[in-house]
Structure 1
Amino acid sequence: MISRTERTANYAVLLLFATFALWPIGSILLSSVGPPDALGVGGGLANFPAAWEQGRFGPSMLTSVAVSGFVVVVAGVLSLFTGYAFGTMRVPGAAVLFPLFLLGLMVPTEVIVVPLYFDLRTFGLTNTFWAIVLPQVAQSLAFGTFWMRAYFRARPVSLIEAARLDGAGSWRILWQVLVPPGRPAIVTMVVLTFMWTWNEFLIPLVMATDPALRTAPLGLAFFQGQYTSGFTLLAAGAVIVAAPVVVVYLFLQRHFIRGMLEGAVRE
């Protein structure tokens, strides 16, 4: 049984780490509603529309929505298929293929972005929407395959065998037997994929120079380079760019936390 002293010490440590984690966030939030800048622009909640207009975040936010939506949907569906195959079937060459997927988790973007740029340029894909989304689909597919394989392997074999005895094929087993109870695992994969894709900076920066293809993080970086008269509007811009990730997490947090806990228990 945990003593009162140990419980108090645990809460003190957690409070200390929470303070370290939340202090930068609180500082940005307070700065985003700060007084007008040196040019008299903004002030309080007016900082957000001012930052939106001066930073021209509208097009970049729409680009990020399109990129994130495409990557999440395509990588999510493909991850379901590959995870289902590796987790429940005897795939020829799985001993070689699955480590290749894992390689995508181990190699950082900085290592592959330059040769990837020249490969995409050979096919005439640089400075296009596809140059931004396809590399991120491949990266997200590596994680999604690993994540969903772990989920499918944890399902009782008897459940799948019973479904086969009832005449269900592989397609029906996937969508009607395994996917419904796997909502927390799928939501966790979706949230993480969306977060990584939304925050990705290097791939859009290298692959596309057209201002029309700037994502939200790129828009914030260019806004930071052009706007130097104060910090309040920059903080407001940072809050605007981060808001969609926070909203998605808050909306799906129950399933996300459940999926993470189930993954931890399985491990």
Structure 2
Amino acid sequence: MNLSRREQLTGRLFLIALVLVTLLPFVSMLSAALQPRGTVPTGLAWPSDPQWGNFVDAFDVANMSALLRSSLLIVAGVVPVAVLIATMAGFGLGHLRVPGGRFAFLLFLLGLTLPFEAVITPIYYQVRDFGLLNTRWAIILPLIGLYMPFAVFWMRAHFVNVPQELADAARVDGSNTWQLFWRVQVPLARPAIASLTILLFLWTWNQFLLAIVLVDDPAKRTMAGALGAFQGQWGTDQVLLCAGSLLILTPTLIVFLIFQRQFIKALLQGSLKG
């Protein structure tokens, strides 16, 4: 019992230390963002007169209303399509066991090993040949394809663990494959679909590389991609740069905090099934 209490105390102390280390950069950025314009922030010194108006200035200077709209359009173009395709592919590979499914799954696994940086050059030339450079489609279409290896792997991991008896019972009731998918499998896969949606939203919102390489107009990029242009223009104003960075990070933090229970539920469900 003493050992168990000691382990619990050690675990709590470790978690507290981990939280402090994680929050330290955000606290440092917040303290820097509240300093008077034109000053050089130092350490974690909290300003005696916080300049909350710096966030308004950063929002106006970076034209974040247009960036917010652009990011939402890109997310709306990527996430629903990617989740739908991945769910259907995961069902086919994990539950239907379609012919050639193992080979296809191996190809998806190989896709997991390819970083974005390794394929950015061929993507650029392909997007250019399609005439999509400097459009939001130059970000949306490649991201859907680049997300497929992980997304299909994620959904397949759920469907492969669904008991076969449920499908057999649905077949006995007269359900065809399409009805089995929508009426039986998709409702059971809601935690996995929700967590995948959260992940793809966060990754798309924070996508930086494709937005910088394929789109010249900052107003057509993601908010994270536009940060590069913002940094180039206001890089000497560290106060404004920190304020703009926090504004860009805020939506992802809000989404994760709202849906963290669904995300953790899906992870725990997968670990218990495994």
TM-score range, shorter chain: over 0.9
Distance 1:154 1:246 in 2: 31
The correspondence for 2:62, drawn from 55, 58, 74, is: 55
Does the alignment pair 1:206 with 2:175? no
Does the alignment pair 1:91 with 2:98? yes
Q: Match of 2:23, as an amino acid?
A: L
The correspondence for 2:253, drawn from 227, 236, 246, is: 246
Q: Match of 2:28, as an amino acid?
A: S
Q: Is the CA contact (8 Å cut-off) linking 2:136 and 2:221 kept in structure 1? A: no
Alpha-carbon offset, residue 187 of structure 1: 0.7
* Other structure's SS at 2:160 match: helix
For residue 46 of structure 2, what is the aligned residue in structure 1? none
Distance 2:170 2:69 in 1: 43
TM-score, with length taken from structure 1: 0.92
For residue 133 of structure 1, what is the aligned residue in structure 2? 140
Distance 2:21 2:194 in 1: 28
For residue 15 of structure 1, what is the aligned residue in structure 2? 16
* Other structure's SS at 1:154 match: coil
Q: Is the CA contact (8 Å cut-off) linking 2:218 and 2:225 kept in structure 1? A: no
For residue 166 of structure 1, what is the aligned residue in structure 2? 173
Q: Is the CA contact (8 Å cut-off) linking 1:57 and 1:219 kept in structure 2? A: no
* Cα deviation code 1:147-172 (max 9, x no counterpart): 11110111110011101100111122
Deviates more, 1:9-18 or 1:51-60: 9-18
For residue 44 of structure 2, what is the aligned residue in structure 1? none
* Cα deviation code 1:111-153 (max 9, x no counterpart): 1000111122222222222211111001222211111111011
Tell me, which stretches of 5 or more residues in structure 2 are unaligned? 40-48
* Cα deviation code 1:60-101 (max 9, x no counterpart): 221111111211010011011101111111312112211122
Q: Is the CA contact (8 Å cut-off) linking 1:37 and 1:229 kept in structure 2? A: no
* Other structure's SS at 2:6 match: helix
For residue 45 of structure 2, what is the aligned residue in structure 1? none
Distance 1:5 1:81 in 2: 47
Q: Is the CA contact (8 Å cut-off) linking 1:187 and 1:256 kept in structure 2? A: yes
Distance 1:250 1:69 in 2: 20
* Other structure's SS at 2:200 match: helix
Deviates more, 1:47-56 or 1:245-254: 245-254
Tell me, which stretches of 5 or more residues in structure 1 are unaligned? none
The correspondence for 2:124, drawn from 106, 117, 126, is: 117
Alpha-carbon offset, residue 46 of structure 1: 1.2
* Other structure's SS at 1:91 match: coil
Alpha-carbon offset, residue 43 of structure 1: 5.2
Count of aligned residue pairs for this structure pair: 264
Q: Match of 1:115, as an amino acid?
A: P
Q: Is the CA contact (8 Å cut-off) linking 1:87 and 1:150 kept in structure 2? A: yes
* Cα deviation code 1:231-251 (max 9, x no counterpart): 222122111111111122122
Distance 1:110 1:55 in 2: 27
Does the alignment pair 1:184 with 2:191? yes
Distance 1:160 1:83 in 2: 15
Distance 1:103 1:164 in 2: 34
* Other structure's SS at 1:44 match: coil
RMSD: 1.8
